[in-house]
Each structure stands twice: as C-alpha cells, then as structure tokens.
Structure 1
Amino acid sequence: MNLKLLGSSLIIAGTALGAGMLAIPMVLAQFGWLWGTLMMLFIWMGTTYAALLLLEASIKSGGGMGMNSIARKTLGKGGQFVTNGLLYALLVCLLMAYIIGAGDLVRKVLSGIGLELSMVQSQIAFTLLAGAVVAAGTAVIDKLNRVLFAVMVIMLAVTLMSLVPTLSLENLLVASSSDKVALVKTSSVLFTSFGFMVVIPSLVSYNQEATHRQLRNMVIFGSLIPLFSYLLWLYAAMGNLTPAQMGTFANVSELIAALGTNHGTISAVLSVFTGLALLTSFLGVAMALFDQNVDTFQKNRAVTYVMTFIFPLMGALWAADQFLAVLGYAGIILVFLAVFVPMAMTLKVRRAPALSINTSASQAVAAEGTQAVVAEDYQAAGGHLAMAMSFAFGCFLLAAELI
C-alpha cells in the first residue's frame, strides 16, 4: 500500500476514532470481555461490509466527489433526494457535536495558558481554522491527518503501557450483567463509533489511479485500526477497574480520573488523545460534507466553505449543551445511510447494464492502460446471502436504536 492509500486508510480510521471511544468501556464492561469482544466484532463486520457495498456502488457508478452523484446515477432523482437529505442531516449533526466538544476543549486549553475565551468564541475559532484546512483539499487533510494520527497512536501506546502492567485478569473475566437486551442496546453506541463510510466517495475520487483491490484493502485496513484500538482500550480499562466501579461513573471524565488515581500521566495523555480524536473525526466528516457540497452545488471553494460550516456552527451555538443528544440523533440517521442506502445502490448497479452506468470510466481505464480492472468487474464478496445478512444487520441496529 502506497503512502496515498495509507493516508486514506488513516482518514477512515481517524473519522471513526472519535472521542466516543473513551466511553466504550463504560458501555461494555458490565458484560465481561467475551461478550464485549463478540459485540464489537459483530458491529465491525456489519459496518465494514456495508462500507464495501458503498465502495462497489462508487466504483461502478463512475465515482464522484460525494454521494450526490452516486445516488443520482444509481437510485434516480427520488433516491438522490432521500440520500442527500439523510446525508446532510447526519453530517450536520456530527459536525455540530464535534464543534461543541472541540469548543469546550479549546476553551479549557487556552484558559490554561491565560487566554480566556467564551464558549461561543472558542467554537467559532475552532470552526474557522479547522474548516480552512478542509477547504484546502483532501491532499492537505491527508498529510495533516497522518501527523495527527501518529500522535494519537503514541498517546494510546503510552496509555496502554501504563495500564497493562497493572491489568487484572479477574476483572476481565467478571461479568456483572447477563441482560442481553441491555447488551443489544450497546450496539447503537458501537455502531456510531464505526461511522466512517461517509468519507468513501471522497477517497475513491482521491485515489483514482488505485486498483479495486487496493481500494478494498484501503477500506478494510482503515476499519481494522479502530477495531483493535477499541478492543485494546476496553481490555486495559476493564482490567484496571472492577465492573462495580465502572457502574458508578456518570461520564468519561470520571473514568479518566479513576484511572489517573494510580497512573499519574493518564489524565493528561487521554486529554490530548480526546482532542486529537475530535479533530481527526471533524476533518473526515467535514471533508465528506465539503465534497458533497462541491458535487451538488458546483460553487467555488470560498462559497462552499461558507455553505459547509455555517449550519453546523449555528446548530452548535444553539445546542451548546446537547453533545450526547445530537450524537443520538446521528446514530438513527446513520443506520439508514450506512446500511440501507449502500445496499439499494449496490442492488441497482448489479441489476443495471454496467456499461450504461460507467461507460466513460471504463473507456478512461482502457485508454490509460492502467493495471486496474474495469469497473464492471468489482463486486463485494458474499452474493445474495451476504446482502440478506446486511439487511438483517440494519434491522437489528434500527431495533437497538429504538429500544
């Protein structure tokens, strides 16, 4: 995998690795390491396969900067309208949540060095600066994200090295709850933690010279990074705190404080990790919305910059204390957009004559003489059985969101 594809995988991973990662032990610890691991693997497999379906639809439809073009080519005007509505609702909700979280973090950091800003000023400053990076293009985001992700990995490694020596196998094996309905409810939190699919159309356009196998590996590798990060963090936290202790925490800050009692550096390290996780998630989601606006409205980058960030910023200022509530709304929307819409797109491109959808793309590949196979040859593995299982997965998630 070349650096460009590696960077794209890190964008996928960075988009998924939001600050919600830190809450995962609080959600799963009560069920023990076995059920926690099985649920995490189940959610990862379902979301990754749905992402590969979207990859197939993106390739076979000839790509596009955003889901707008893909939906128009595969689902028609009605499907395009529904997809755009869901996508805008999701991305705006996510950006609102990230601006709220990042604004609070920026305010605390600046306060520590003697610069006092209000929450409103912090949110505006963060949005303007981070938004400028997004407007600079995917290549800039890619390069910056590599650096940020490297620092995140270092922070996570320091945390794990501090926690692993004091890990208790007894704590890992204890399950304080056998309530499987409660376990099912956790799937909504975990599913949102793997919400990276919105960046796939942008990355397909960014890696036009890549073969389909490379693009598939890009998605799988990018999804494996958050999976292993989540599991390692879950085991480390569970091994150092009893299920009874976990059950008393009302928020992530209390969890971090409890871990920091015996490990002095944990609080500072995890605070840095949280900030970087918010930033990388913001960059990935904002990139998807920016490219969607470029694809839909065909305006210059300055106008698109304003269109992309004005509504999330206004929403964040209006709902400054609703971080978790906004993420909850995003989770319900994500079920439809991340599972059912890619499935509908893929069914359409598999049934439709491939050349009528992607003739120009096939001709371009042939003319350039690249080693990439033509777009009509790519298909996510599994056939009808995997498609049916993906549909059942979506229904399961929807039920979990509504319980």
Structure 2
Amino acid sequence: MKLFGSALILSGTALGAGMLGIPMALAQFGFTVSLILMLVIFVGTTYGALLLTEACTKTSQTGGMNSVAQLSLGTGGKYFINFFFYMLLICILVAYILGIGDLFHNLWAGLGFDVPQQVCYTVFSFIMAVVIIAGKSYIDLLNRVLFILMITMLITVVVSLFTNIHLDYLEQTPDFLWKDVVKHSTTIFTSFASMVVIPSLVMYNKEATPKQMRNMILLGSIIPLVCYLTWLFAIIGNLGTAEISQFDNISELIAAFGGSSGTLKTIIAIFSALALVTSFLGVSMALFDQNKDAIAGIVKRTKLEEGKVTAILIFALTFILPLLVTGLFSNKFLNMLDYAGITLVFLAVWGPLAMAWNVRKPSFKIASAEHAYTAGGGTFALVASFLFGAFILVSTFFS
C-alpha cells in the first residue's frame, strides 16, 4: 500500500498542471498531433524518472535532491542541480497557487461571497502546510483519499461528456505551424515531469526491491498519461479546437460548459481543484524535504544547533516564499508552466542522466547493492535521453 500510495503521489503531482494546462495548450493542434506529442514526451520523462530513481537507490540520500546531487555529482554538481531545483519548484508552486486562487475565488463568488484570490490561496497554503509538516504518512493518506475522489469525479465528467462527443471535432486538422507544436512542448513536458518527489518517495520506500521501485515509477507515470488522453478526448470532442485555444485560465475552461447542467460545471470545478491540491501536496512535500535536507547540511558543516530558528526558516522557504512570488505573476498560469519547463530539462533529463552515468562507474561505491535499481536501455537509451532533453530545451526558445 505504501508503494501504491507513492505511485498515486507521483501521479497526483503531475496531474495538476496537465489536466488544466493540456487542453488549453494542445487543442489548437487537433487530437491526433496532440496524441503523438504526448506519447513522445511521456516516454522521455518516464525514462528520466527511472534514471533519477537509479541514482537515489544507489546513494545514501536523505530524501532531498540536495544529498542525491552531492553524492552522485559532487559539490559543483550539487549547487547546479539545487539552483534549477529551487527554480522549478517555485515556478510550479506559483502556477498551482494561481490556479487554486482562481478556482476558489470563483467558487465563493458563486455562493455570493467576494473573497479575493490572494486570501483564497494564502489560507489554502497554510492549511496544506500543516499536512506537510505532519509527515509523509499523513500526506500519503490524504493524497489517496483526494486522488480516489478526483478519479471518481473524472469518470463522472468523462461519462457525461462522452454522451455529447462530436467526432468531427476530433477529426479536425486545424492550420498551425510546427514551430508552435515545438513551442508548447514545454507545457506538456512540465505536465509529465513529477520527478521532484522521487527522492522523497525512494526514502519513504527504502525497503522496497528494485523491481518494486521500477513498477512504482511506471504506474505513477502511466496513470497521468491515461487521464490526459481521456480528458483531452472528452474536452476537444465537446468544445472543438477553435474555442478551447482561446482560453487563458481555468475558470474560462469551466465556464465554456455554459450549455451544460450546473451540476456538471460544479463537478468539473471540484475535479480541477482536486487535481491542483494533489499536485500542490507533492511539490510542496518535495520542496519541504529539499529545504530540510539542505539546511541540515549547513547546520552540520557549521556546527550550529538545530532549533526553532531552523524550523521557521524551513517553513518560510517552503510556504512563505512561493506566496510572495505569486503576487508578481497574477494570471500567468501557462506562463509559469513554460518557465518550469526550461528548468526541467536540467532536472528531469540531463540531471538524472549525469547522475546515472556517475553511479554506474565501477569506482562508485553503491550504498546498498540489494536495493540498487538500474534503468534498462544501456548507452543507446542514455543517448536518446540526451537528445530528448535537447529537443525540449530548443522548444523553450520558441516560447
């Protein structure tokens, strides 16, 4: 159940961005082109996740990317990875906070209360902080409940939308430039890359066998793919490519179902909120563990005493800093996903690639041979992974 719960945390971390960003980013290209692009990026990100899992199982890391990078890449590599890791987590958290603020603001507005978005996402962030600080067993339990509820909502929405599918919408081949397909690859890439939680999950399941670790990663990666394809099929089949491509935020996507019943719109709004909440849990857990790992290293080197000041600093860096940054990027949900995609190339592809390359050297001392996992594919897969990262990096220059 721990491994299954961990796979759901991995899936839930990805789904917040994808379920809300993918329809708005891909609808303009039609379903067939979107399907091909999604499959390519799924394969690339899943292999990157397996490489990072390999690095985590072969090092005596403590649940944060900081220690994995230190042990596999050295001090210079650690600073490089840490810089991009913090940039990524802040960008993704800001995107999720913006989405949550937008959803809850409209929810309260529908009940007759004008609650500012800033109040909505600030209160939410502090409630989630209590869960994160309580520990991974509480995060796991809450995430399982929310994830099952979210999938139930998704099935309800999809069944309702499938009764009104227009096949001609799915067969549409709108005019577009291929450079625009490349441009939006960063958004799709971000939607699949939930690798930020892998160090935490490997530590949480440190007694698992290599095969169990591999299966956890594969299950946690396949679930978002199935959800994305089903969701994209239902959304495009109901609204068409032209209408969806005009949306700028989540509330506009929900409002597009104006001809649908009020119940369906409410279910879609709740589902969207759950997708964001599960993602927020995973990303904030990763940032919390990273801050705790990094600050513990500083305390150890400087021989300072851990205490309230350390705890307050970890709390501020994990929950206060993203809130402050959010105020600078209002109504920039998709933009923040694009920014995150730039940093993800180094963290979800090239970073794990470099780590795996080093831990496979005969001179590297593996922490535990019994629990050490090695990703398949050999040198060919490593070269393909490098080229995949180059493609995503090139796509960021089109954004």
TM-score by length of 1: 0.90
SS at match of 1:128: helix
- CA 27–118 in structure 1, closer or farther in 2 if over 3 Å, else same: closer
Q: Deviation at 1:119?
A: 3.4
Question: How far is the alpha carbon of 1:46 from its aligned partner?
Answer: 0.3
Runs of 5+ unmatched residues, structure 1: 363-372
One-letter code aligned to 2:168: E
Between stretches 278-287 and 107-116, larger displacement belongs to: 107-116
Structure 2: unaligned runs, 5 residues or longer: 297-305
8 Å contact kept, 1:260–1:266: no
In the alignment, the residues of structure 1 paired with residue 316 and residue 27 of structure 2 have an alpha-carbon distance, to the nearest angstrom, of 42
Distance 2:225 2:86 in 1: 26
Q: Does 1:331 align with 2:365?
A: no
Residue in structure 2 matching 1:312, options 300, 322, 328: 322
- 1:397 equivalenced with 2:392 (yes/no): yes
Alpha carbons 1:188, 1:331 under 8 Å: kept: yes
Counterpart CA distance in 1 for 2:324 and 2:78 is: 26
Deviations 1:256-294 (A, max 9, x none): 333341454332111111111111111100000111111
Q: Does 1:384 align with 2:387?
A: no
State how far apart, in whole Å, the 1-side matches of 2:235 and 2:328 are. 35
Q: How many residues align?
A: 386
Paired with 1:116 and 1:398, the residues of 2 have a C-alpha distance of 41
Distance 1:333 1:325 in 2: 13
| Deviates most, 109-118 or 391-400 | 109-118
Q: Which of the residues 208, 230, 233 maps onto 1:232?
A: 230
What residue in structure 1 maps to residue 30 of structure 2? 32
Q: CA deviation at 1:28?
A: 2.4
Q: Which residue of 2 aligns with 1:295?
A: 293
Deviation of 1:251 after TM superposition, in Å, equals: 4.3
Cα-to-partner distance string for 1:205-235 (whole Å, 9 max, x where unaligned): 0001111111110011011111000000111
Cα-Cα RMSD: 2.0
Shift of 1:310: 2.1
Alpha-carbon shift at residue 34 of structure 1 (Å): 2.2
Give matches, 1:2-401, under 5 Å: 3-113=1-111, 117-177=115-175, 179-298=177-296, 299=306, 302-303=311-312, 304-354=314-364, 356-358=365-367, 361-362=368-369, 373-375=370-372, 378-401=373-396
State the identity %: 48
Q: 1:166 to 1:101 in 2, by over 3 A?
A: closer
The separation in 1 between residues aligned to 2:315 and 2:253, in whole angstroms, is 37
Give the conservation status (yes or no) of the 8 Å contact 1:65–1:294: no
1:368 corresponds in structure 2 to none
Other-structure match for 1:370: none
Partner SS for 1:171: helix
Counterparts in 2 of 1:20 and 1:227: CA distance versus 1, 3 Å: closer
Taking structure 2 as the reference length, the TM-score comes to 0.91
**Aligned-pair CA distance for 1:126:** 1.5
